[in-house]
Structures are given as structure tokens and as C-alpha cells.
Chains A and B, each alone.
Chain A
Amino acid sequence: MARNATPHKTARPRPEKPRRSTGAQSAQTSLGDRFTAWRLHHRDSLYDALGRMRRARASSAMTILVIAIALALPSGLSVLLDNAKVITRGWDGNAHLSVFLKMDTSNQQQQELARQWQQRADIDHTQVITRQQALNEFRKLSGFGDVLEALPDNPLPPLIVVFPDSTDPVSLKALQNRLQDNPSVDMAQLDVEWVRRLHAMIQLGERMITALTLALALAVVLVVVNTIRLAIENRREEIVVVKIVGGTDGFVRRPFLYTGFCFGFAGGLLAVILVQIALWWLGGPINELLSLYNSTDTLATLGAGSLITLPLFSGMLGLLGAWLAVGRHLSEVEPNF
């Protein structure tokens, strides 16, 4: 039998050729009946799959648990990474440029410049530190007040602290260059390295989770392939009989595809529950960590959408696994006498 040659086409009963037999009148069925039967067979296949999973409780539970663990791991890690992002969003907020103006800039000019910059789209807000304020602060914090007294002039330049709107390294660099071009600016200083490192680490984390997700998704598919292969082996006799009495490949395939989908879906659902339990357990420490970083955010969890999307995604993986198993092993089960 052609292996998966036209899977979709064979999945539904085909209208009988109009030819009539010359012997006893062959029974005919109408298209409407066929559609109803096709729909019912989908429903029956689903019930059949669920019924068989329930009857083989222990082995079904094992398969579902393996799938759930394989999916809970990357989803849990990605939630943790989301939380790391929330924490570092607070750090990003501290990223700023120290723009030192030329010594001859007046206080008025400094104020004016700060006001102009504040209008710009790429700047969130600015803070003016006059030469006098800088001197006072330096005196207070450094303990070199006496040394400064000895100097004839205030050696500190006027400063505008610029808090950028965006904190990604590229736009920070661009902003720095633009400010540097201003004739009143002596130097715009940006310590961007740590922000960069942080972004690189987060990116690395995301990549690793993506790789892990792919590897474990493959594992889910393989688990289902194996489960369905065994199911086909167990139902060999039934498949033979169905093929002898004229069951299409689609008819034979359907219960197995539903079984694969159900395993995947149940595994995904359990994965969501496992992740929620883990987050509930980690929730206290994470929230504490968030508050220590002055973040007003609370623990990020799996979104409400994940309750549906993860089981569906997992169901699709199960379907894929079942499809592969069926394509590979169903054609091996052929009637013989």
C-alpha cells in the first residue's frame, strides 16, 4: 500500500464509482451519509483513543509524564528568563550619559541645552549639575574639600546627565555621537559595556532555551513515535481485518493520530501545571529578589495564553509523532493468509 502518498485524500471515504455490479446489488451510500460517518468516525476515534489511554493507565501516565517534563523544562526556564529581564529592566533604567560641557558654558546656556535635549524623542529626561553643585557634591563625597579650596578656580566642568529613552546598546551609541557633535559639549561619556554584557547574557540564555526547546520537542515527538509504534503492534489483528474489509489508510490511521494528539495535549497540560507549581514554589524568593532590585514588577508567570497554546503545541508534536509512526509502521501491517 502506498505509504502516505496522499494522506489527506485518503482520510475520508471516497465516493463510490458510479458503476453498478452485475451480481447481487451492491449496497450504496449517499454522500451525506458518508460525511456524517466520517464526522462520527473522527469522534469515535477520539473516544477510542481516550478510552485506550484510560485502560492502559500506568503506561499512559508514564508517557504523559515524560512529555510533560520535557516541555516543562524549557517553558519553566523561559519564565525564569522573563523574570531576569524584568529585573534587568530596572538596571537598564540607570543607564545614562554624562555629558560634560565646555568650561566657558554659562549656567543659563546649560539650563537651555538641558531643556532642549529633554524635548528630543530619544531622551527620557535630563538632570542639570552646575559647576557649583558639582563642586559641593565633590567636596562632600570625596573628602578633598581642602585641596579644592587651595585651587584658584573651580576645576569641575558643567554637567548634564542624560537619561536615554532606549537602553539598547546601538541607540545609546548613536545618541552619544549626536550629543558629542554639539559645539558646547566637551565630552559625552557612556559606560555601555556592562549593559552590553547583560544583553549578551540574556541573548545567550534565550538561545540556549531555544536549543533546549528544539531538542526536547524532538524528544516528545520520538516518545510519541515509540508509543504509537507499540500501539500499532498491539492492534495488528484489528488493522489487518480493517484493511481486508476495505478500510482506507485514513480510516486505519485516524485512531492513532488522535492517540498521538491526546498524549501530546495531556503532556502539555501537565507541563503547564508543573511549571505553575514550580513558580509557586519559587515565587517568594523571586518576588523578594525583584523588590531588592527596586522593581515594582512582580513575578512573571506563564501567560494565560500558554494554558491553551502549550497543550496545543504539544498536541501538534504528538500528532507529528503519530504521523511519522503510522507512516513508517502501518504499511508493514498487511493482510496475509
Chain B
Amino acid sequence: MIQFDRVSKRYPSGKDALSKVSFTLPAGQLTFLTGHSGAGKSTLLKLIMMIERPSQGQVLVDGQNLNGFASRHIPLLRRKIGMVHQNHQLLFDRSVFDNVALPLVIAGYARADIGKRVRAALDKVGLLDKEKLNPIMLSGGEQQRVGIARAVVNKPPLLLADEPTGNLDPQLSAEIMDLFQDFARVGVAVLIATHDLSLIARYRHRLLTLREGRLIHDGEEAAHGA
């Protein structure tokens, strides 16, 4: 699903955010991405989302090389990627239903289809009875699940999560992780950026560890000192 081939990113300030990072994420696999803040996690996600472009190397998403990918096609790329944020990025001027429906409205789904798919996604995250509420009335855990429903509502082949359990207690974190594992099981490539080491230790999935922009570990075991 995702392939990084000796990818480097240097910001105009001269800071090397990533240096020669290479890895491959297959479909149906859940992978953790970890490292201290400033290690390059955010930059790596931004390169996948095409918010930034690499200085060197190649990024492939769903078989498409993002180098030379025209700016005006970026929205199409992003429709293949579900993105879950630490701060949920929900819109408080509309209902839960409308928040989740947004990717479908943008992609041009028929109205009737939208209702069906939104309810399926809300059902999946256990919030079917909250569709009419404003997300501001929901708890942090529920808001995060709305964010997940929105990320998966158009069934993207790739799911990115940036500190998805950052503000949640272990119980809620476990629920969220169960959801992500379900998506991986049905073939979605899931990449979770987190520095929650207890979470990583509990679930023993593949782990990518970044330090100062370098990929220092790629495997099932947590790297020591990461």
C-alpha cells in the first residue's frame, strides 16, 4: 500500500526531518510508527498525505509514485486515505452525521447512498444513536470514534492515525485499537503514529522506530532506547 524508497526530507530551514527512510506497508497490516517528538513521525505522515513533498527518494501510495503527482490530483489521493487525528478535527457547526458524511459528499455519492454508508460507519464505531447530536456534546472517546467513522466511511485502502489514543484512558484506547485491528483484518493498511509505548507493548504489531529522521528499527520488537 505504501512504499518509501530512501526518502529524505529537508525543510527550508535546513532541518533534516527524514534521512533515507525505506520501508513497505502491505495491505491488511497494522503498523506502529514511533519515536520522540521531532523524530520525523509527522513529516512521514505529511509525505503520505502529500502535505509535503520529499526532497529525495520516492513515496508510492497504492502503486502510484507521488513524485510528479500533479497538485490538482492530490484530493483524489487523499480520498484513498483515512486520517485520524489526535485532536479529532471534527466540525462543531454540524451534526455527527454531517461530520461523518463529509468525505462522501466531497466524493460525490448519491444522497441515499450517503445515509446508508454513514450509518454503517457509525454502527461500526458504536455511535449509531448519536448521529443527530453535535460532536461537542460527546466525550473525548466518542469524538475520537466519530473521527474514525469519518476516516473509514468511504472505505479507504489506507488508514493513518496520528496519536489516536493520545488523550484517552487505557480502556478507551483499547476500544480504539480494537477498531483499528478490525480494519486491518479486512485488508486496510493501518499506520498508527504514537509514542504510547505501553500501547505498542500490549499489541505486538510491526513497529517502525524513527530517531532524528532515521529509521532505526523495523520489526515486531520495540527498539530499546527509542
Contact = CB atoms under 8 A, between A and B. Distances in A.
Given A16-B76, A244-B78, A249-B72, A23 B187 contact: yes
Rank and list the top 6 A-B pairs by shortest CB-CB distance, nearest first. Answer: A23-B157, A37-B108, A246-B79, A23-B27, A21-B157, A34-B108
A26 B155 contact: yes
25 contacts: A2-B72, A5-B72, A6-B72, A22-B1, A22-B157, A23-B189, A24-B27, A24-B157, A24-B186, A27-B107, A27-B109, A29-B109, A34-B108, A36-B108, A37-B105, A37-B107, A237-B89, A241-B89, A244-B78, A247-B75, A248-B75, A334-B51, A336-B51, A337-B45, A337-B162
Contacts of A50: none
Interface string A2-39: 10011001100110110101111111010001101110
Interface residues of A, number: 43
Interface in B87-106: 89-91, 93, 102-103, 105-106
Contacts of B124: none
Interface of A: 1-2, 5-6, 9-10, 13-14, 16-17, 19, 21-27, 29, 33-34, 36-38, 40-41, 237-238, 240-249, 251, 334-337
Contact of A25 (B73, B89, B93, B155): B155
Contacts of B57: none
Contacts of B102: 241-242, 245
A246 B106 contact: yes
Contacts of A38: 108
Given A19-B63, A334-B51, A36 B72 contact: no
B71 interface: yes
A24 B188 contact: yes
Contacts of B186: 24
A24 B70 CA distance: 25
Given A22-B1, A22-B27, A246-B106, 14 more contacts: A2-B72, A9-B72, A16-B76, A19-B62, A19-B64, A23-B27, A24-B187, A37-B108, A237-B89, A240-B89, A242-B102, A244-B49, A337-B46, A337-B86
A309 to B, nearest CB: 35
Contacts of A243: 75, 78
A29 B105 CA distance: 11
Contact of B93 (A16, A33, A238, A337): A238
Contacts of B158: 23
Contact of B91 (A19, A33, A237): A237
A218 to B, nearest CB: 30
Given A244-B78, A246-B79, A29 B106 contact: no
B74 interface: yes
A248 B162 CA distance: 23
A5 B71 contact: yes
Contacts of A26: 80, 154-157
Contacts of B63: 19, 22
Contacts of A248: 72, 75, 106
Give the interface centre of B28, B73, B76 by most chain A CB atoms within 10 Å.
B76
Contacts of A40: 111
Nearest to B29: A23
Contacts of A244: 49, 78, 83, 89
Contacts of B10: none
Contact of A33 (B76, B83, B110, B150): B110
Contacts of A22: 1, 27, 62-63, 157
B113 interface: yes
B150 A23 contact: no
